[in-house]
């Protein structure tokens, strides 16, 4: 296939698998969270009546892995710009919208692979999927979440020129998104103001969708999770495509 979307998608996948250190290193943080928090806070969570904390935590860590991988995929835009590859790509007789779509799908695929690997690891430390057929629904939520945050990372990177600034902004955005998504704690008993903030967080719907599909418990509702994720993903993708189309090299 010579489609520019397919070419950019394939390039993102190849770049990911060529870096074995990146694959291994990106699994270290999720594994640390699963082991340290899962077994550290597990007894407390269980005594509080929350059940098995590993089963609650694992979907949140899967979403975290997707979030980090997808958002930091945007740094490749800055990298390609600095080393001249982006200029070669953009001067080609190809629509920038197609290039952006290919990059987004490629980055989302990489992020979903990362989330799937974390899911496999979590199975070895005690996580159990309650409904195998519904597990495939979790893959849909993983992919939509991956597209959303890949597009967001690319949109931000399109307006920046240095990697240090991108990393600072990413940390400023990623940590609140993660900690206020319900990945680490239930959101149904939060104080009013904090509960309102978590419902404004798009990652909350990704976490709830993945968790509900894997363990059968939806707090926000599967329809709400899917609809809101689709709407926000569409908006962010359009914004990211517009900003990428205005990149100057």
DSSP letter string, 30-89: HHHHHHHHHHHSHHHHHHTT---HHHHHHHHHHHHHHHHHHHHTTHHHHHHHHTTHHHHH
Burial class (CB in 10 A: 0-12, 13-18, 19+), 34: buried
Say whether pLDDT at 2 is over 70.
no
pLDDT of residue 162: 76
Nearest to 109 by CA among 137, 150, 75, 77: 150
pTM of the full predicted structure? 0.90
Q: How does pLDDT run across 113-148, given as a tens digit for each residue?
A: 999 999 999 999 989 988 888 889 999 999 999 999
Q: Which residue has the tokens 């692979």?
A: 113
Confidence of residue 88 (pLDDT cuts 50, 70, 90): low
Average pLDDT value for residue range 40-64: 87
Average pLDDT value for residue range 191-217: 91
- Can you say whether the dihedral through the CA atoms of 192, 138, 12, 21 is positive or negative? positive
Best-predicted range by mean pLDDT among 25-39, 118-132, 198-212?
Answer: 198-212
Q: Which residue has the tokens 């309650």?
A: 130
């Amino acid at each position: 296939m010579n489609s520019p979307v397919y070419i950019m998608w394939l390039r993102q996948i190849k770049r990911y698998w060529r870096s074995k250190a990146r694959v291994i290193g990106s699994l270290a943080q999720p594994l640390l969270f699963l082991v340290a928090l899962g077994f550290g806070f597990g007894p407390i969570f269980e005594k509080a009546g929350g059940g098995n904390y590993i089963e609650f935590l694992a979907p949140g860590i899967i979403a975290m892995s997707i979030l980090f991988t997808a958002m930091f995929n945007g740094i490749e835009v800055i990298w390609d710009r600095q080393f001249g590859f982006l200029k070669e790509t953009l001067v080609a007789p190809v629509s920038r919208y197609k290039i952006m779509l290919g990059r987004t799908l490629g980055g989302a695929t990489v992020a979903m692979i990362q989330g799937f690997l974390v899911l496999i690891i979590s199975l070895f430390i005690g996580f159990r999927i309650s409904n195998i057929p519904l597990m495939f629904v979790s893959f849909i939520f993983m992919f939509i979440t991956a597209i959303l945050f890949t597009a967001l990372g690319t949109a931000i990177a399109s307006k920046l020129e240095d990697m240090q600034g991108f990393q600072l902004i990413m940390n400023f955005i990623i940590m609140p998104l993660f900690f206020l998504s319900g990945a680490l704690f239930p959101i149904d008993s939060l104080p009013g103001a904090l509960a309102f903030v978590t419902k404004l967080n798009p990652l909350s719907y990704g976490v709830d969708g993945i968790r509900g599909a894997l363990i059968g418990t939806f707090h926000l509702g599967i329809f709400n999770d899917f609809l809101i994720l689709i709407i926000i993903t569409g908006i962010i993708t359009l914004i990211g495509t517009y900003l990428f189309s205005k990149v100057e090299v």
